Chains A and B, each alone.
Chain A
Amino acid sequence: DQQVKQNSPSLSVQEGRISILNCDYTNSMFDYFLWYKKYPAEGPTFLISISSIKDKNEDGRFTVFLNKSAKHLSLHIVPSQPGDSAVYFCAASPGTPGAGSYQLTFGKGTKLSVIP
């Protein structure tokens, strides 16, 4: 059972335009969400996160939106740059970051290609 779903395996966007990556989840216990960026042959790196008490979090060109009622979150990149080309993973946690067995559940990723 896939609890975190990224239904678009790939996305192509023109440089300078907006990139929107989507993520859906099924577990209503999830209340902390993260986005990771991964280049080939490298480990994923943390990009941005959002807690369920918020519906938006912004960090420079990156904004994450959370719609709890729809169990949906999205990552917006504006403006998109060629260096943003990578695989983006959505991840979710059932909160309680201090818990000893804290775990993240990842989606399968979306490969973003930003065309110059």
Chain B
Amino acid sequence: SQTIHQWPATLVQPVGSPLSLECTVEGTSNPNLYWYRQAAGRGLQLLFYSVGIGQISSEVPQNLSASRPQDRQFILSSKKLLLSDSGFYLCAWRDRGHNGYTFGSGTRLTVV
């Protein structure tokens, strides 16, 4: 069966520090992968998606970046975090079983 792993679960980082969040998928190959953010009081905002290794599409210009170094690995990064980067970050893969997404458990990022 397919599973998605996301870590860490929580993270507190100072302003100006770097960020690296990792997401891996098991049990499937060549998945479509997505990074979403849920900011306080807001909905789910698509940040990046990837249809294959090295292929990244950005939906929202900001100081975040994404990379897909391997087929089932998706990484969200920042060189210098801002206070506004605080939020709940979710990785997801395209689940053809129900033609929707299956989400990871999320990372709560607090920038202080």
**Residue ranges of A at the interface with B (Cβ–Cβ < 8 Å):** 6, 32, 34, 36, 41-46, 49, 89, 91, 93, 97, 100-104, 106-109
Chain B interface size range: 20 to 34
**Residue ranges of B at the interface with A (Cβ–Cβ < 8 Å):** 6, 9, 32, 34, 42-44, 46, 49, 51, 57, 88, 90, 92, 94-96, 98-106, 108
Task: Say how far B71's CB is from chain A's closest CB, in angstroms.
Answer: 15
- Complex contact B98–A49 (CB within 8 A): yes
- Assembly CA distance A109 to B39 (angstroms): 12
Number of A-B contacts (CB under 8 A): 57
Query: Taking A100-B32, A100-B51, A101-B57 as contacts, is the C-beta distance between A42 and B100 under 8 angstroms?
Result: no
Chain B residues with CB under 8 Å of A36's CB are: 100
B108's closest neighbor in chain A, by CB?
A: A41
What are 19 pairs between A and B in contact, CB < 8 Å?
A6-B43, A32-B99, A34-B98, A41-B88, A42-B105, A42-B106, A43-B92, A43-B106, A44-B44, A49-B98, A49-B100, A97-B96, A97-B99, A100-B32, A101-B51, A102-B32, A103-B34, A104-B101, A106-B44
